[in-house]
Chain A
Amino acid sequence: MIRKRSRIERQLIIFGSAFGTTAELVRGTWRSGSGRKWMIPLIIFLCLNGLLLTLAAGVEVLAPFVYSIF
């Protein structure tokens, strides 16, 4: 039986693996010799943004009615 993980667990797994994946991508680009080293800051920026958005998506979407209750 496949155990279903909670949302926070899934996000922690993404969080934990994201840095390794980003580092591998940066290392590969650095070693490739294809003259694309200039892309490294962009890769880091985009990966961190992706991580941020993934975590922010973990916030429960409530029906509103906090301000417009009545």
Chain B
Amino acid sequence: MDDPVRALLACPACGGALGSDWRCNRCGAGYAASEGIPSLRLAGDARTEAVREFYTEAPFPGYPRDADLNWLRARARRSRFARMLDDAIPADARVVEIGCGTGQMSLYLARANRIVIGADLTRASLLLAVEAAGRFGIDGAHFIETNLARPGLRPGAFDVVYCSGVLHHTPDPRKSFAQVVQLARPGGMIVLGLYNAFARIPLRLRRAVARLTGGWWIPGDPVLNDRAAEPARRDAWRRDQYHHPEEHRHTLAEVRGWFAENGVEYIRTFPSALLAEEGDGLFAPEAGGWRFEEWLAQIGWMRSLGPEGGLFVIVGHRIGA
């Protein structure tokens, strides 16, 4: 791992800089780095360990057997959100993806002169990410094993912190968010993906039916249908959505509260929380704040986001620049 990349990492125990032998220059703690993945993870609480074991059993979201770089780009380009994210991030940005799973978004964003670090709790997922990076010929993405509660990442070091589908699986999402904010430099962008309390309702109804039928029938899940020919990825989605041991859901107003508590200025959501409008850039501030309109938009998300689990994205920037 190059020095500019290592400079973005830190000792998870004391926050000190790490030497080339993965030893902390401040407290002297040593860390292992095998198969291209530094292990900067301290043991978590029982609930966090349960989540880690859950993803160790079935890394999420996984790769199709014949995946290549064209597959990755084609999948990303069909998503308006992924295109907007890629367009919004400067070519020389330092990016961290918290909870990168099997690393697809990190690999997709690792182009031009960007330095992208994918951090995850689960080594089994990271091994797939590193293997894919080698196979796709991508050298701008680096992966580390770490726990968000004590991250092995240097505070204030990143221009963009991307954390999607993660905080709602932590024991205390509000506290975890405070940790995420610390990683962004003043003025840095924070892109957060969370289950929305309204948009998640359709999936919860499907889950209730699945439980009543002993898992035999899951009605109308388009992602499961899309993965009918890929049993491993289909099973990973089914487990993640219908059998996860830790799940929370949040409203936009609640997350706006987290932003205010942590010195983060609200930029916008994706999809837009304005009715019948969709802003141009993911980092372009959007007017709004009319509580009633935001509630209506979230009710509408049941229809637009509900089919794929009800995850919405909220963007802000850390005040201070």
Contact = CB atoms under 8 A, between A and B. Distances in A.
Between B164, B270, B299, the greatest number of chain A beta carbons within 10 A of the residue's beta carbon is seen for B299
Interface in B289-321: 296-297, 299-301, 303-305, 307-309, 311-313
Interface string B209-225: 00000000000001100
Give the top 9 A-B pairs by smallest Cβ distance, nearest first. A59-B300, A65-B79, A67-B311, A70-B104, A64-B308, A56-B299, A56-B300, A8-B276, A69-B79
Given A67-B165, A70-B75, A62 B80 contact: yes
Contacts of B305: 64, 66-67
Interface string B221-235: 011001000000000
B223 A68 contact: yes
Give the interface size class of chain B. Answer: 35 or more
Contacts, number: 92
Nearest to A66: B81
Interface residues of A, number: 21
A2 interface: no
Given A66-B79, A67-B309, A68-B309, A60 B61 contact: no
A17 interface: no
25 contacts: A11-B275, A11-B276, A52-B296, A55-B275, A56-B299, A58-B276, A58-B296, A58-B300, A59-B275, A59-B276, A60-B272, A63-B78, A63-B79, A64-B304, A64-B308, A65-B308, A66-B308, A66-B312, A67-B164, A67-B193, A68-B61, A68-B226, A69-B105, A70-B72, A70-B75
Nearest to A57: B300
Interface in B152-195: 164-165, 193
A6 B75 CA distance: 32
A67 B76 contact: no
Interface in A19-70: 52, 55-70
Contacts of B164: 67
B68 interface: no
A7 interface: yes
Nearest to B311: A67
Interface of A: 6-8, 11, 52, 55-70
Contact of B304 (A55, A61, A68, A69): A61
Contacts of B307: 64
B296 A66 contact: no
B99 interface: no
B31 to A, nearest CB: 29
Contacts of A6: 276
Contacts of B308: 64-68
B104 A60 contact: no
Between B76, B275, B307, the greatest number of chain A beta carbons within 10 A of the residue's beta carbon is seen for B275
B267 interface: no
Given A52-B299, A59-B297, A61-B304, A66 B270 contact: yes
B72 to A, nearest CB: 7
B165 A69 contact: no
Contacts of A68: 61, 223, 226, 237, 308-309
